[in-house]
Amino acid sequence: MPGPDPLDLTGRVAWVTGAARGIGLACVRALALHGARVVGLDLKLSPELLAVAPDSRELNVADPAAVAQVAAALAEAGLAPEILVNNAGITRDGVLWKLSPQEWSSVLDVNLTGAFHLMHEAVPLMRACGRGSVVNITSINGERGKFGQSNYSAAKAGLIGLTKAAAREAGRFGIRVNAVAPGMVETEMAEKLPPEVKQRAVDESVLGRIAQPGDVANCVLFLASSLAAHITGQVIRVDGGQYI
């Protein structure tokens, strides 16, 4: 007789940031498909998100007071998370000598400090229930650096450091912390790029295409599930071999 499905997330609550579209929405769909009760958190909610995750809330992850308030309200409503996907992210591209201090700090505030804010609230809630899985969406550009993205690369590299330190701190409470590093993914974020930059990513990929949001969500699902029960502190690339 087959055993229990290791991807079954029935009864688990998952918080996903940046959930209204793109990779975040794909993560919401993948987790919900496997039984999780998903709370999407985004600046602005979308009908697509609310169709799968009606408990979703508006939230700016860069605002620590708002994050604390929403986290407390969700916990009060019985929606403390066992799964947290820190996916919200923005770009403000430009060579570093042309970046304004605001373009620098806004990217750090959302892409790195936003993840810290969510983990600051979620990890104690996970501790209380004795288990948890945090998945941080970084980028291959946090590992290799990218021309015109010093702010973004720094934030994503910082997120890798945060992932590893948090994995060390939270492991003894049964909480795993990992990161997924996509290459280029076909979303609105990538649509903003010039066609030649997108073509370069296709050419770099040994599989000959850029990722779909679902490719990244599948890896997030794996890391959130008990299939990854002994994996923590890791960065898994989902980039079709774009950065080997």
Ligand X SMILES: NC(=O)c1ccc[n+]([C@@H]2O[C@H](COP(=O)([O-])OP(=O)(O)OC[C@H]3O[C@@H](n4cnc5c(N)ncnc54)[C@H](O)[C@@H]3O)[C@@H](O)[C@H]2O)c1
Q: How far apart are CA 174 and CA 123, in angstroms?
A: 11
CB of 158 to ligand X, least distance (A): 12
| 83-86 and 175-182 strand pairing | unpaired
CB of 243 to ligand X, least distance (A): 11
Q: How far apart are CA 233 and CA 87, in angstroms?
A: 17
Cβ–Cβ under 8 Å, residues 199 and 64: no
Q: Which is nearer to ligand X, 7 or 108 (CB)?
A: 108
What Å distances lie between residue 12 and 41, 83, 111, 129, 174, CA to CA?
17, 7, 25, 11, 15
Q: Which is nearer to ligand X, 40 or 132 (CB)?
A: 40
Contacts of 78 (CB under 8 A, 6+ apart): none
Considering only 9, 14, 16, 23, the residue that binds ligand X (CB under 6 A) is: 23
Determine if 22 is a binding residue for ligand X (CB under 6 A).
yes
Q: What is the x/- site pattern for ligand X, positions 161-200, by CB under 6 A? A: ---------------------x-xx-xxxx----------
CB of 35 to ligand X, least distance (A): 23
Residue 89: count other Cβ atoms within 10 Å of its Cβ: 25
Cβ–Cβ under 8 Å, residues 24 and 16: yes
Classified as helix, coil or strand, 148 is coil
Q: Which is nearer to ligand X, 16 or 167 (CB)?
A: 16
Considering only 14, 27, 125, 137, the residue that binds ligand X (CB under 6 A) is: 137
Comparing C-alpha atoms, which of 188, 117, 112, 187 is closest to residue 156?
112
Within 79-118, which residues bind ligand X (CB under 6 A)? Answer: 87-90, 110-111, 114
Which listed residue (56, 152, 154, 175) is catalytic? 152
Residue 44: count other Cβ atoms within 10 Å of its Cβ: 8
Determine if 43 is a binding residue for ligand X (CB under 6 A).
yes
Considering only 56, 113, 133, 139, the residue that binds ligand X (CB under 6 A) is: 139
Q: Which is nearer to ligand X, 52 or 129 (CB)?
A: 52
Q: Is 152 a catalytic residue?
A: yes
Q: How far apart are CA 209 and CA 198, in angstroms?
A: 10
Give the active site residues: 152
The binding site for ligand X (CB under 6 A) comprises 17-18, 20-24, 42-43, 59-62, 87-90, 110-111, 114, 137, 139, 182, 184-185, 187-190
